[in-house]
Structure 1
Amino acid sequence: MKLFYSLVFLCFSTIALKGQTKVDSVQTLETVVLSDVKLQQNNYGFKTTTLKDSVLQNDSKSFTDILRFNSNVYFKENGYGMVSSPSFRGTNASQTAVIWNGISINSQLNGQTDFNLINVNNFDNVVIKNGGGSVQYGSGAIGGSIHLNNKLNFSSHFDNQLRLNYGSFNTQKASFNTNYGSSKFAANFWFQYVTSDNDYKYLGTNEVNENGAFNNLNFNVNLGYFISENNILKLYHQSFLGERELSGTLNTISRNKYLDENFRTLLEWANIGNHYTSKVKVAHLQELFKFYQNKDLDGYSYGKVNTYLIKHILDYNLSKKIALKSILDYNYFEADGSSFGSPNRSAFSATAIATYKPNSKSTFAFNIRQDVTSDFESPLLFSLDGSYQFKNFYKIMLNASKNFRVPTFNDLFWQPGGNLNLKPETSYQVDLGHQLQYKWVTLDLNTYYIKNENLIQWKPSNSGFWSPININQTHSYGAELGLKLNKTFGSHTITLNGNYSYTTSEDLETNKQLIYVPKHKANVSIAYNVKRFSFYYQHMFNDMVFTTEDNITSPLYSLPKYDLGNIGISYQLIQNKNHNLRLGLDINNLYDTPYQNVIFRPMPNRNYNIQLHYKF
């Protein structure tokens, strides 16, 4: 830990020395700069999709459903409200990085982020980056990354939002958000409480989800203060307390209960000069779980991880054509659990990024990264990307990268089953993208190839319990299509968004499709607004998936394809400068479709949600 505090002192000393440069209009810059180190400006050759607050603040949808219906990301969900894990381009959840204001929040226990533990209303935007990002975001950013961003607004304002929801299965939600800003200080406070009996019907049977109730409390605070003309201090904090009864299956009744506690605190000091931006991030993350085999008894197993992080980022504009970036990152992880003991790990990384923009039409970037980890040898990583604007309406993008993932504490130390002989995963990939844009229509097409080595998978062992092993080689290839349309005529606005993905992901030894990877996935949403009235319709198609490596297409070994539809209407009861009151109604699973994301774990039947949203 002495090394951690020494690095903190060193980075803050460096930024303080740079603080002599004057800069004009810093306040204006800070209202638009993302905490995630200008994510869009460092991924010229990558496909990125930004979900703005107009999409994120659909009060009746979970974060899982918002991404499922508005992106190419595929989700496995162990019943509604249970563990929800994302998948990009045929990879798995531990190969998807989740980045909160520029730092990774993937669990150090299983390498994943449970998207049913994230309340999305607190974020100003979410950026989805398809393709490898390990050079910038470290272990796990193989298939893609999802970026959760908070923006502090240093303009004079004071506004509040109150949301109240009630829906099927006695689902209740209440949240309150307040924002304040001046030229020197900005603050955002937000809390939300959700509770649900979650006792939906299992369509096609006489059963209901008997053990699926959940509740959670989420509190967030974001603060920013200009210490001087060109120095700003920001504080981000999240607290999440959740309790879930874990749903059973069609064949078994569950009495399990799971408690989650997640605390994240991030302090950022930024110095903005005429030609550079320097940032220091210091963070403490804590994840804690308790698992009760029988919710009516006192006995439980537990796990806890503390993460300490120090990160320094320097962006320097060498000229109008050349920009340089360096990232120094140190992490220390300490864990304690009833099933994996008390392991710890330290990791240091150094990243260099060079961007060259020879003219207004083209941009190229080269990235390298070296990690030094206490228990593994990490490979030298690289990333190349670029874009070229052939015409005003046509742009081509290309990227290639080497990425990696180190085994998690569960992979190594879980008892019984942990495997200390695991090797880190490595990945090579290439992506070619095309973008056509004409007036109010944008069309994106991406094709890609990914080759993975030493993929970590948990499988039944000869001893009767599950254990992780390295699979020699897998590959994924496919195509993604995106369509955006936005047209306003008079007081009428029509918005259409669509996504389609084709994915082949195979074990190269068996030539079999990997489990839970649909070959075809598509979604489309259309929204219509006129004066105070709004209407939307969403539709999603999910192809059949295999649930075993044998690729057998029968109900016991695969899940059938399905179509889902959602519909919603809302009306502005009050709409003026100081007050805005909206009443909305959503109907989810409109066609009452029986479907499963994980075998033997049915999802909800048709359900309703009423929202009252008051801005003042």
Structure 2
Amino acid sequence: MKRTLVAIVFTLSVTGQLSAQERPLWELEEVVVSDIRLKNYAEGHKLNHLSDSTIQHGGTFLTSLLAFHSNIHFKENGYGMVSSPAFRGTNASHTAVVWNGININSPLNGQVDFNTLAPLNYSSVDIRSGGGSVQFGTGAIGGSVHLNNALRFDEHFDHRALIGYGSFDTQKVSYEQGFGNGKWSHSFGVNYLASDNDYAYLKTDRRNQNGEFRNISFNFNAGYVLTDKNVLRLYHQTFTGDRNLSGTLVAPGRSRYEDDRSHTQLEWVNLGQKSVSTLKLAHLYEGFKHFENKDSDTFSEGKVTTLLARYSHDIEFSDAFRLNSYLEYDHYRGEGGSFGSPQRNDVALTALARHKVAADFVYSVGLRKDFSSDFSSPLVFSLDGAYTLSQHYGLQLSASRNFRSPTFNDLYWVPGGNLDLVPENSYQIDLGQVLEFGSMTFNLNGYYIATNDMIRWLPSGSGLWSPSNVDEVRIYGLEGEFTLDYPIQKKQALVVKANYAYTVSEDKATREQLIYVPFHRANASVAYNLSSVRLFYQHLYNGPVSIIGGQLAGYQVANAGITYSSKLGGRIQYEVGLTLNNVFNSYYENVALRPMPNRNIQTQLLLNF
């Protein structure tokens, strides 16, 4: 950690002395996007893009941003505690999280805790619905969430500082810097968050105990133009978290959990007349300490390191046809008291082809084969395309075979790990319709997913929990998305966004809905901009879900807020905002016996200069 901070400070001190230089001959826009696959090979998939302005007002954690702006359902063990996504009725390990082009799901449990991701760390977030194992590897079954850090090479030197305070002694401080001079670009950010998190349990005389948390994250991203055809880019992120783990209505909490993660990625890009070659080298680390008793010095711990190397070549043979192929090597090394010292080596070969048949019809096909030192992975494929029938109406279609590899916990956990596990195997098809009229867009998608050999942890006759490939699951449903961005007058605008999902996710043997998957889920947000004032309202409906031994009631929760922005003089702009969360003071749980916060307030001051 100390070495990382020293390197960041040194780099900033050097870049501050760089003088403006002549812009390169080629178009820089082509190299600020780290994952060319998301840009050029996703015609048949529904993509939901969340821009910087949406992120800025999207809440403290990535969980809250996506809960109100996508069809992803989240299970939270209390506010700020572990948060797991359920994308299209799948499990948490079936959502791939892609950071600047690489999959960062944990090799330990196959998941990412979305309450450890601060939205302000990213310049944009994309949600890609449907299977994506060909492009993004293990776990990309329900969909993928893409965390992007854009690099601007145009001449600029910008700063953004945020300070916030709210209920439960919640404190938030953030600083971001961006610089570019045509030859060099960097962005730097630091985010700090802390809270007593002692909200009241509605309908009781109790409060959330042992829920305190604090975390800090650093981001540094840089790009340097070596020549007119060669660019180097560096992405780095460090997160350190310390949180107590809340109890339940029937059992008080007393444990504590420490996170320590870092992601570093170095990327070289060579630009030809008709091709782009990219070499990525990445080092990913995650470690944890779990204190069963926060007041004790006794803890369990674990860590895992991932080394990644990927070479890709994207070539445009003509205006109608392009091909992307890449070779990736991953080395995983773990160490922990509950899973030993496992290692794994994976090699993946992938090819993607895009064919533009006509101005209104384009399709892509893909193949991927993984070779693992631990098990045999299936050959997976993808086919997707888009057909524009008219100026206002278009169709999207995607079909794919996808997989999820067993994790270190699945294989080696003591006691209970199962070395005989095989990767999960999933087939799916998705048909989407897109309707556009001026500032209004409507999407409707229907999909079907069939999964075999799903890995599930179940108790044996002796009471020992162990994973096995036992489940066959089928999932089908409908998703609707509506967007209206309507300028009323010169200084007025109305923005309306709404999502609805109907999801059936059932065990084929029992025909019962899987636990914690709602049949119905919907959200909507309305924002009205009037000159310097912005008013917004968000509403979420989550239907009842099955749980072990019964059913958890559905709920509705809403947030509302107001911001005022103006200039202090020169380049300095400020925005003050107030958000009222859980406006109607609704009692709700999205995990049984773990109540979520009552009505609360968050204030913030934002400075841009």
Fold shared per TM-score above 0.5 = yes
Closer, same or farther in 2 for the Cα pair 1:25/1:478, shift >3 Å? farther
Structure 2 letter corresponding to 1:516 = Y
Structure 1 letter corresponding to 2:552 = L
| Mapping for residues 161-240 of structure 1, pairs under 5 Å | 161-240=160-239
Count of matched residue positions in the alignment of Structure 1 and Structure 2: 586
Counterpart in the other structure of 1:249: 248
Counterpart in the other structure of 2:17: none
Counterpart in the other structure of 1:367: 366
Deviation at 1:24, TM superposition (A): 7.5
Cα RMSD of the aligned pairs, angstroms, is 1.2
Q: What is the rounded CA distance, in whole Å, between the counterparts of 1:190 and 1:241 in structure 2?
A: 14
**Unpaired runs of at least 5, structure 1:** 1-22
SS at match of 1:583: strand
Counterpart in the other structure of 2:450: 451
Counterpart in the other structure of 1:340: 339
Counterpart in the other structure of 1:542: 542
Deviation at 1:30, TM superposition (A): 4.0
Structure 1 letter corresponding to 2:359 = S
Counterpart in the other structure of 1:277: 276
Q: 1:91-139: per-residue Cα shift (whole Å, max 9, x none)? A: 0110110000000110010000001111110211111001000000111
Counterpart in the other structure of 1:6: none
Counterpart in the other structure of 2:257: 258
Deviation at 1:206, TM superposition (A): 1.1
SS at match of 2:350: strand
Counterpart in the other structure of 1:428: 427
Q: What is the rounded CA distance, in whole Å, between the counterparts of 1:374 and 1:441 in structure 2?
A: 50
Counterpart in the other structure of 2:415: 416
Structure 1 letter corresponding to 2:510 = T
| Mapping for residues 22-421 of structure 1, pairs under 5 Å | 25-30=25-30, 33-58=32-57, 60-421=59-420
Q: What is the rounded CA distance, in whole Å, between the counterparts of 1:200 and 1:313 in structure 2?
A: 49
Q: What is the rounded CA distance, in whole Å, between the counterparts of 1:346 and 1:134 in structure 2?
A: 18
Q: What is the rounded CA distance, in whole Å, between the counterparts of 1:395 and 1:333 in structure 2?
A: 43
Aligned 8 A contact 2:223 2:231 in 1: yes
Q: 1:359-383: per-residue Cα shift (whole Å, max 9, x none)? A: 1100011100010000110111000
Deviation at 1:418, TM superposition (A): 1.2
Aligned 8 A contact 2:494 2:526 in 1: yes
The one of 544, 553, 565 aligned to 1:572: 565
Q: What is the rounded CA distance, in whole Å, between the counterparts of 1:577 and 1:38 in structure 2?
A: 41
SS at match of 1:596: coil
Deviation at 1:25, TM superposition (A): 4.0
Structure 1 letter corresponding to 2:571 = N
Q: What is the rounded CA distance, in whole Å, between the counterparts of 2:382 and 2:343 in structure 1?
A: 29
Deviation at 1:468, TM superposition (A): 1.4
Structure 1 letter corresponding to 2:327 = L
Q: What is the rounded CA distance, in whole Å, between the counterparts of 1:59 and 1:161 in structure 2?
A: 16
Deviation at 1:515, TM superposition (A): 0.5
Structure 1 letter corresponding to 2:521 = K
Aligned 8 A contact 1:558 1:599 in 2: no
Aligned 8 A contact 1:195 1:216 in 2: yes
Aligned 8 A contact 2:376 2:422 in 1: no
Q: What is the rounded CA distance, in whole Å, between the counterparts of 1:565 and 1:272 in structure 2?
A: 48
Aligned 8 A contact 1:30 1:153 in 2: no
Q: What is the rounded CA distance, in whole Å, between the counterparts of 2:73 and 2:568 in structure 1?
A: 37
Q: What is the rounded CA distance, in whole Å, between the counterparts of 1:398 and 1:59 in structure 2?
A: 30
SS at match of 2:358: coil
Aligned 8 A contact 2:109 2:409 in 1: yes
Deviation at 1:29, TM superposition (A): 2.5
Q: Is 2:582 aligned against 1:583?
A: no
Q: What is the rounded CA distance, in whole Å, between the counterparts of 1:235 and 1:358 in structure 2?
A: 37
Aligned 8 A contact 1:59 1:165 in 2: no
Deviation at 1:38, TM superposition (A): 4.5
Closer, same or farther in 2 for the Cα pair 1:95/1:209, shift >3 Å? same
SS at match of 1:563: strand
Q: What is the rounded CA distance, in whole Å, between the counterparts of 2:470 and 2:582 in structure 1?
A: 38
Structure 1 letter corresponding to 2:577 = G
Counterpart in the other structure of 1:15: none
Deviation at 1:59, TM superposition (A): 6.4
Counterpart in the other structure of 2:516: 516
Q: What is the rounded CA distance, in whole Å, between the counterparts of 2:592 and 2:259 in structure 1?
A: 24
Aligned 8 A contact 2:60 2:118 in 1: no
Deviation at 1:240, TM superposition (A): 0.5
Closer, same or farther in 2 for the Cα pair 1:576/1:134, shift >3 Å? farther
Q: What is the rounded CA distance, in whole Å, between the counterparts of 1:601 and 1:462 in structure 2?
A: 29
Structure 1 letter corresponding to 2:176 = N
SS at match of 1:598: coil
SS at match of 1:513: coil
Deviation at 1:314, TM superposition (A): 1.0
SS at match of 1:402: strand
Relative to the length of structure 2, the TM-score reads: 0.95
SS at match of 1:371: strand
Q: What is the rounded CA distance, in whole Å, between the counterparts of 1:521 and 1:201 in structure 2?
A: 26
**Unpaired runs of at least 5, structure 2:** 1-22
Q: What is the rounded CA distance, in whole Å, between the counterparts of 1:152 and 1:186 in structure 2?
A: 6
Deviation at 1:576, TM superposition (A): 6.0
Deviation at 1:460, TM superposition (A): 2.1
Aligned 8 A contact 2:327 2:348 in 1: yes
Aligned 8 A contact 2:537 2:560 in 1: yes
Q: What is the rounded CA distance, in whole Å, between the counterparts of 2:298 and 2:140 in structure 1?
A: 36
Deviation at 1:459, TM superposition (A): 1.9
Deviation at 1:450, TM superposition (A): 0.1
Aligned 8 A contact 1:568 1:585 in 2: yes
Q: What is the rounded CA distance, in whole Å, between the counterparts of 1:369 and 1:507 in structure 2?
A: 28
SS at match of 2:57: coil
Deviation at 1:575, TM superposition (A): 6.2
Structure 1 letter corresponding to 2:307 = Y
| Mapping for residues 584-603 of structure 1, pairs under 5 Å | 584-603=577-596
